[in-house]
Amino acid sequence: MTQRTLEGRIAVVTGATSGIGRATALALARMGAHVVIVSRSPQKCAETAAQIVQAGGSATPIAADLSSQRGVRSVAEQIRARFPRVDVLVNNAGAIFGERRLSEDGIEMTWALNHLSYFLLTHLLLDALKAAPTARIVNVSSDAHFAVRRIPFDDLNFERQPYRAFSAYSLSKLANVMFTYALARRLEGTHITVNALHPGAVATNFGRELGGWWGWVFRVLVSRFALSPEQGAQTSIYLASAPEVAQQSGLYFDRCKPKRSSPLSYNRDAQERLWAISAEQVQLAG
């Protein structure tokens, strides 16, 4: 039987209507957390929340397009209006895009959704996280970040370099790790921890829209080797709830264990440069 170790806690999970995020939300609800289901489809958010309630848990659906800064701000506003605090924030919503697309804010879509939504939502919920007795931020990244050899600081929007889905994706996942390290430094001495993770290769809806060679490779790999969403959610659930990681912060995890991320991810100057660019892109001061 699942222990209800999160009884009375409020956990926000983005991308909670499918795959790893959905499995994470269901597990946290089974542990007693009130789970805020954040995703883009109002219907899927309502269905996931209803499933949790039917199983004896409690949940609130909040729908918004997280690739849009207006969407992220609206989610944060609704959370702050409804809840006195947030104990757990799992930044998980993400995708890979076959073609270069721009978000509503004119930002390359992978960067906007996979990185800037984590960055902005976390900032907008910091006061709510500070209001909790202890709080955890969990950033779902990927070992795909190891593929980045150089950060194209002068062309994060893929305007001059040719757009490649995997390059844009791995860059956004590197940004998740570097954001985690830079935020952990800023949160030192507080009761808020922040960690990043690789969930493994997981059979979800991820990559469904990829065509061509990458789409084929992806589908073959997923069908042969992938973990189930429940298996893929284990490290997210562990970081969001396990007592043994209550004090751990600024680490990268895989299969519920810390491991080294890419050498580039530890470059502090690059982390700070990314932080400054991200803050400017989402119009946050400092």
Ligand X SMILES: NC(=O)c1ccc[n+]([C@@H]2O[C@H](COP(=O)([O-])OP(=O)(O)OC[C@H]3O[C@@H](n4cnc5c(N)ncnc54)[C@H](OP(=O)(O)O)[C@@H]3O)[C@@H](O)[C@H]2O)c1
Footprint of ligand X (CB under 6 A): 15-21, 39-41, 44, 65-67, 92-95, 113, 140, 142, 199, 201-202, 204-206
Report the nearest approach of ligand X to the CB of residue 115 (Å). 10
According to DSSP, the β-strands at 135-140 and 257-258 are: unpaired
Residue type, 222: V
Instruction: Choose the catalytic residue: 169, 181, 238, 252.
Output: 169
Residue pair 153/273 in contact (Cβ under 8 Å)? The answer is yes
CA distance 67 to 109: 7
CB-CB neighbours of 1 under 10 Å: 4
Judged by beta carbon, residue 254 or residue 273, the one nearer ligand X is: 254
Quote the tokens at residue 207: 């990559």
C-alpha angle with apex 147: 113 to 277, nearest 5 degrees?
45
Burial 35-45 (b: 16+ CB within 10 A, else e): bbbbbbeeebb
Quote the tokens at residue 177: 């790790």
Judged by beta carbon, residue 122 or residue 132, the one nearer ligand X is: 122
Rg of the chain over Cα atoms, rounded to whole angstroms, equals 17
Quote the tokens at residue 81: 């209006």
- CA nearest to 49, candidates 57, 272, 102: 57
Report the nearest approach of ligand X to the CB of residue 146 (Å). 12
Judged by beta carbon, residue 44 or residue 185, the one nearer ligand X is: 44
Quote the tokens at residue 139: 């950033």
Measured in residues, the chain has a length of 286
Residue pair 21/29 in contact (Cβ under 8 Å)? The answer is no
Judged by beta carbon, residue 15 or residue 32, the one nearer ligand X is: 15
Is 163 assigned a catalytic role? no
CB-CB neighbours of 51 under 10 Å: 16
Report the nearest approach of ligand X to the CB of residue 205 (Å). 4
Report the nearest approach of ligand X to the CB of residue 30 (Å). 18
Residue found under tokens 């969990």? 138
Judged by beta carbon, residue 201 or residue 270, the one nearer ligand X is: 201
Judged by beta carbon, residue 18 or residue 271, the one nearer ligand X is: 18
* 150 φ/ψ angles, rounded to the nearest 5 degrees: -150, 135
- CA nearest to 139, candidates 206, 200, 94: 94
Report the nearest approach of ligand X to the CB of residue 113 (Å). 5
Report the nearest approach of ligand X to the CB of residue 100 (Å). 16
Instruction: Name the residues annotated as catalytic.
Output: 169
